[in-house]
Chains A and B, each alone.
Chain A
Amino acid sequence: GENVEQHPSTLSVQEGDSAVIKCTYSDSASNYFPWYKQELGKGPQLIIDIRSNVGEKKDQRIAVTLNKTAKHFSLHITETQPEDSAVYFCALSSDRGSTLGRLYFGRGTQLTVWP
Chain B
Amino acid sequence: ETGVTQTPRHLVMGMTNKKSLKCEQHLGHNAMYWYKQSAKKPLELMFVYSLEERVENNSVPSRFSPECPNSSHLFLHLHTLQPEDSALYLCASSQGQTTNEKLFFGSGTQLSVL
Contact = CB atoms under 8 A, between A and B. Distances in A.
Interface of B: 2, 4, 6, 31, 33, 40-43, 45, 48, 50, 55-56, 90, 92, 94, 96, 98-108
Nearest to A30: B100
Contact of A49 (B40, B41, B56, B102): B102
A30 to B, nearest CB: 9
B42 A32 contact: no
25 contacts: A32-B100, A34-B103, A36-B105, A41-B107, A42-B108, A43-B2, A43-B4, A43-B6, A44-B90, A45-B105, A46-B104, A51-B100, A95-B98, A95-B100, A98-B99, A98-B100, A99-B45, A99-B56, A99-B99, A100-B50, A100-B99, A101-B45, A101-B94, A104-B42, A107-B40
Nearest to A44: B105
Given A42-B107, A98-B99, A101-B94, 7 more contacts: A43-B92, A44-B90, A98-B100, A99-B48, A101-B92, A103-B45, A107-B41
B102 A100 contact: no
Contacts of A43: 2, 4, 6, 90, 92, 105-108
A102 B43 contact: no
Nearest to A95: B99
Nearest to A34: B102
Contacts of B103: 34, 46, 101, 103
